[in-house]
Amino acid sequence: MNRLKHIAFIMDGNGRWGIKKRRGRNYGHLKGVEVVQNIVKASISFKIPIITFFVFSTENWKRPKTEINFLFKLINSYFEKEIHDVMKNRIKINFLGKLSNIPKKTKETIKKTIQITKKNKNILVNLAINYGSKSEIIDSFKKIKKNKSKISKTSIENNLYTSNLPDPDILIRTGGKKRLSNFMLWQLAYTELYFLDKLWPEFNKKDLSKIISKYKKIKRNFGGI
């Protein structure tokens, strides 16, 4: 049986779900946060040690400014209101991405949350914000060059944002699209990929459970054909 160490999520479909409900894209993002909260708790119950959410990509800056501002305000308000629940469930928060360009208040919120939760050990939740995998790989090479180190698979991995973390065993993408969208391109080399037509606000614990069950039954070859 395959042991699960890390699940990553591309949470696609929030905006489309909000429009589908005739409440607007921002309403979809609001509902999407509730689903994140539920999936974190479900992952704890399934004893998954690490999960990663693709929250905001480097390409998302092309979205309307009103939507971008709402997303960052949503991050701020969530951790201001729910930090007690985060601590109660012993959730450790980690950040993947570049803090540059992120609004000052959100930077402060992220740094504060990481500091407050650093000793929690129930589950590690990575939030990929202002994240782009190609930039991450370039940054890794820059660090290697700066340190005058030898380029190798190990040195590249040690300088990624995910250094010291196991690669995802499973990637789940909702929303019907079958692409990686510049997310963890290096780390997903041998990951099992699951693409769902469901929009992210429709995703639930039962869906996660089904995917985990499927994963545990497959034979992983890690490069074999």
Counting residues of the chain whose pLDDT is more than 90, the rounded percentage is 94
**Gyration radius (Cα) of the chain, Å:** 17
pLDDT grade, residue 223 (50/70/90)? low
Structure confidence by residue, pLDDT tens digits, 87-117 = 999 999 999 999 988 999 999 999 999 999 9
Q: Decide if 85 is catalytic.
A: no
Domains of the chain: 6-132+167-217 (3.40.1180.10)
Return d(Cα 149, Cα 184) in angstroms, integer: 23
Q: Whose CA is closest to 179, among 65, 54, 63? A: 54
Residue 74: the pLDDT is 96
12 has catalytic annotation: yes
pLDDT at 37 over 60: yes
For the segment 54-73, the average pLDDT, to the nearest whole number, is: 96
Write out the H or E segment, with its range, that includes residue 66.
helix 65-88
Q: Which of the residues 2, 38, 60, 122 is marked catalytic?
A: 60
Output the pLDDT for position 3.
Answer: 83
Q: Choosing from 12, 14, 130, 169, which is the catalytic residue?
A: 12
Residue 166: count other Cβ atoms within 10 Å of its Cβ: 11
pLDDT of residue 224: 55
Report how far residue 50's alpha carbon sits from residue 52's, in angstroms, rounded to the nearest whole number: 7
Q: Indicate if the pLDDT at residue 220 is higher than 80.
A: no
Closest CA to 136 of 163, 167, 161: 161
Contact call for residues 114 and 95 (beta carbons, < 8 A): yes
> Residue 225 has what pLDDT?
56
Q: Are strands 50-57 and 123-131 parallel, antiparallel or unpaired?
A: parallel
Q: What is the pLDDT of residues 132-148, one digit of tens each?
A: 999 999 999 999 999 99
Report the predicted TM-score, pTM, of the whole model to 2 decimal places.
0.95
Using CA atoms, how far apart are residues 182 and 119, in angstroms rounded to an integer?
31
